[in-house]
Chains A and B, each alone.
Chain A
Amino acid sequence: MTVQLLVQMTMTGVTLGLIYGLIAIGLTLIFGVMRIIQYAHGEIYMLGAYILYYWFDVLKLPYWAGFVVSALVIFFFGAGLQLLLFRPLHGKEMLYSLAVSLALIFIISSAGLIFFRPVGRGISSFVTGQIQIAGAEWTYERMVIAGISLVLILALWFLLQRTKIGLAMRAVAEDPETAGLQGINNRRIHWIAMGLGSALAAMAGCLFGTLMWILPSMGFLATIKAFMIVIMGGLGSVPGALVGGFILGFIDSFLTTLATSEMAYIFGFIVIFVILVFKPSGLFGQEWE
């Protein structure tokens, strides 16, 4: 194995890890605050990518504005889903919210097949060019994408740790009733958290769609990856999602290069299984009932 290959794989691993982390953090936020399994997270990620595609490649409007528009639209879409579908099921059997999100997968992915057609499309790059460092090719696009993911993750961390609304979210996640007694409106926090988690997925979709192809069926694979990461790191834990993202990003990058993508997939699931056997609530997770 040459140094060049190693550097290249590490770089791919870091980029993938950050994007995966971005999807998974949205999911972990939703679970942590509301205790629902948002199974259709990947479909939302797919919708986000398509909004940017139509904005940037069909309507020819500026890229960064599209990025923001996609995030905003999906924020309100997610908040709407919470208010319309998930709120009535709050506090009920967890299977019911699982069923609703399963139904959302059916609806969104089939509607996607009808409206977007099952054709692979690519969002055009916004920057071109590359430089050579340590014998490996570093495209600017990849570096910018990794940078944006990192900035978004840090921004979320800042929001959760340093702002009032973030404090309220953590309080609701910890103990909804006590939080309510302190004057925190649980329902408002719920839809904000759902919107925020969905918007993170949409932005990850935009970034990933710029790197690779977008397809109406790309959502389910993202759901699988997001769940693998979140379970590895522990549901509801933001650092856990980031660590899990890196683990999976590196597995994907190294095993796909050295063996096959099939092997990477199987190995990822085996790693999860082993982690769960030794740490039944993930690496950073608490006990959930």
Chain B
Amino acid sequence: MNDQSKAISRRGAWRFVLLWIVGIAILLAFPFIIAQERYVLHVAIVVFFNICLATSMWLIWSLGFVSFAHAGFMGVGAYTSALLLIRLGLPLWVGVWAGALVGGVLALVVSLPLMRTRAVYFFMASWAVGEVIKRIFAYYRGFFGGWEGLFKIRPPRLGPIDFANRTAYYYLALVLMVLIVLAVYRLNKTRTGWIFWSLHEAEILSSHVGIHALKYKAGAFAIASTMAAMTGALFAHYHGYINPKSFDIWTSEFALVHIIVGGLSTVAGPVLGASILTIIDELLRPTEFYRIIIFGVILILTVLFLPGGLESIPKRLRLRLWKLPEDKDTRKSIFSVFGKGRK
């Protein structure tokens, strides 16, 4: 990156800083705006967890693949932290780092053989990793509690603050969410982030200009899985109860859905997708089975009519207002097929 391009990428940067500060300020004030309503706080905490998962998965996506082992690594973090508390009495403050360490090392070890596979085969191989992790939790009843899972995972205390209080836990989850999103956002802006996208676009070409593809791929996979493991630790202590079902393929798939609906090209995608879809999901809860059907319909409509996801809406509006020609991200795929005939 030379000085000129640095100057270009810095232009307008204050807007993003302002956006971040305003966003965090709103989130900090949020519990008092809603008068500490317990249900709304619960939804907010779930939203934060989902944002953490979707954002860390998006980090893997920025290298061009999707890991279905993500929920499995979340489970590794959750179980490590819960077992440390139950067997050794160590609080979350130790558990979250231990979970991150175990999850990260495991991800690094697994990623070396895993990275030999590509595209669809990677989906499946990572799915196999996730399933094996989940089934191992279920299989060893004595140690991991089997399908019933582990109980009585107390939230931690810090001096006078007891995190059994939802407002307190809200701030804890907020800290993790902001840290993860900020880390991914910043990482994406650095030279490393550019290398990730270059591997996404053309892996062979990148290797030819001297980028060690395996190193970056394994590194990004380990970092993202570490983030998932930390989310898992906080998840376990929030719910107080975990079982292998919480960490199955569906959790990974919902994170993937959040990314696709939110948008694939910037970190705003997973954040928007995870928050809006989680809120819609909560609003639809009274409709029981129909909830999942409506969810599926939303997903299909987004993919067909809004490719590029929610994050592309401002760009679409801008193009519409100034009557600019639509580009490849914003063209509505369905009309190009059914509307104007063959291309």
Question: A107 to B293, alpha carbons, bound, how many Å?
Answer: 4
How many Å from the CB of B321 to the closest CB on chain A?
A: 26
- Count A-B contacts at CB 8 Å: 134
Question: A285 to B128, alpha carbons, bound, how many Å?
Answer: 18
Contact call B139/A280, Cβ cutoff below 8 A: no
User: Beta-carbon contacts of B262-293 to A below 8 Å, as 1s and 0s?
Assistant: 00100000000000000000000000011111
Question: A227 to B66, alpha carbons, bound, how many Å?
Answer: 16
Contact call B307/A92, Cβ cutoff below 8 A: yes
Q: A95-B264, A269-B128, A276-B125 are in contact. Are A100 and B138 (CB under 8 A)?
A: no
Question: A102 to B298, alpha carbons, bound, how many Å?
Answer: 12
Contact call B293/A99, Cβ cutoff below 8 A: no
Question: A31 to B121, alpha carbons, bound, how many Å?
Answer: 12
Contact call A106/B299, Cβ cutoff below 8 A: yes
Contact call B139/A266, Cβ cutoff below 8 A: yes
Question: A277 to B116, alpha carbons, bound, how many Å?
Answer: 6
Question: A112 to B129, alpha carbons, bound, how many Å?
Answer: 29
Picked from A92, A263, A289, the residue with its CB within 8 Å of the CB of B333 is A92
How many Å from the CB of A138 to the closest CB on chain B?
A: 33
Which of chain B's residues have a CB closer than 8 A to the CB of A287?
118
Contact call B257/A102, Cβ cutoff below 8 A: yes
User: Beta-carbon contacts of A264-289 to B below 8 Å, as 1s and 0s?
Assistant: 01100110110011001110010111
Which of chain B's residues have a CB closer than 8 A to the CB of A107?
292-293, 296-297
User: Beta-carbon contacts of B327-339 to A below 8 Å, as 1s and 0s?
Assistant: 0000001101110
Number of interface residues of A (CB under 8 A): 47
Question: A95 to B67, alpha carbons, bound, how many Å?
Answer: 12
* Beta-carbon nearest neighbor of B66 in chain A: A95
With an 8 A cutoff between CB atoms, is A11 at the interface?
Answer: no
Q: A37-B123, A277-B113 are in contact. Are A99 and B136 (CB under 8 A)?
A: no
With an 8 A cutoff between CB atoms, is B47 at the interface?
Answer: no
Picked from B114, B120, B121, B307, the residue with its CB within 8 Å of the CB of A96 is B307
With an 8 A cutoff between CB atoms, is A29 at the interface?
Answer: no
* Beta-carbon nearest neighbor of A102 in chain B: B253
* Among A12-20, A81-89, A140-148, A199-207, the stretch in contact with B: A81-89
User: Beta-carbon contacts of A66-88 to B below 8 Å, as 1s and 0s?
Assistant: 00000000000000000001011
Which of chain A's residues have a CB closer than 8 A to the CB of B307?
92, 96
Contact call B289/A273, Cβ cutoff below 8 A: no
With an 8 A cutoff between CB atoms, is A123 at the interface?
Answer: no
Q: A88-B333, A107-B293, A272-B124 are in contact. Are A288 and B118 (CB under 8 A)?
A: yes
Contact call B333/A288, Cβ cutoff below 8 A: no
With an 8 A cutoff between CB atoms, is A151 at the interface?
Answer: no
Which of chain A's residues have a CB closer than 8 A to the CB of B132?
266, 269-270, 273
Contact call B264/A281, Cβ cutoff below 8 A: no
Which of chain A's residues have a CB closer than 8 A to the CB of B214?
none
How many Å from the CB of A275 to the closest CB on chain B?
A: 9
How many Å from the CB of A228 to the closest CB on chain B?
A: 8
Question: A277 to B113, alpha carbons, bound, how many Å?
Answer: 6
How many Å from the CB of B307 to the closest CB on chain A?
A: 7
Contact call B264/A280, Cβ cutoff below 8 A: no
Contact call B118/A289, Cβ cutoff below 8 A: yes
With an 8 A cutoff between CB atoms, is B295 at the interface?
Answer: yes
Within 8 A of B (CB), among A204-231: 224, 227-228, 231
How many Å from the CB of B283 to the closest CB on chain A?
A: 17
Which of chain A's residues have a CB closer than 8 A to the CB of B125?
231, 272-273, 276
Question: A111 to B291, alpha carbons, bound, how many Å?
Answer: 11
Contact call A281/B135, Cβ cutoff below 8 A: no
> Which of A105, A106, A231 neighbours the largest number of chain B CB atoms within 10 Å of its CB?
A106
CB-defined A-B contacts under 8 Å, sample of 17: A85-B304, A88-B304, A89-B303, A89-B333, A93-B264, A95-B264, A99-B256, A100-B303, A100-B304, A102-B257, A104-B300, A107-B297, A110-B291, A113-B289, A266-B135, A276-B121, A280-B117
Q: Which residues of A contact B (CB under 8 A)?
A: 31, 37, 85, 87-89, 92-96, 98-100, 102-107, 109-111, 113-114, 224, 227-228, 231, 235, 262-263, 265-266, 269-270, 272-273, 276-277, 280-282, 285, 287-289
**Contacts beyond the supplied A110-B296, A265-B135: 9 A-B pairs with Cβ under 8 Å:** A37-B123, A85-B304, A88-B338, A94-B119, A107-B293, A110-B291, A269-B132, A270-B132, A272-B128
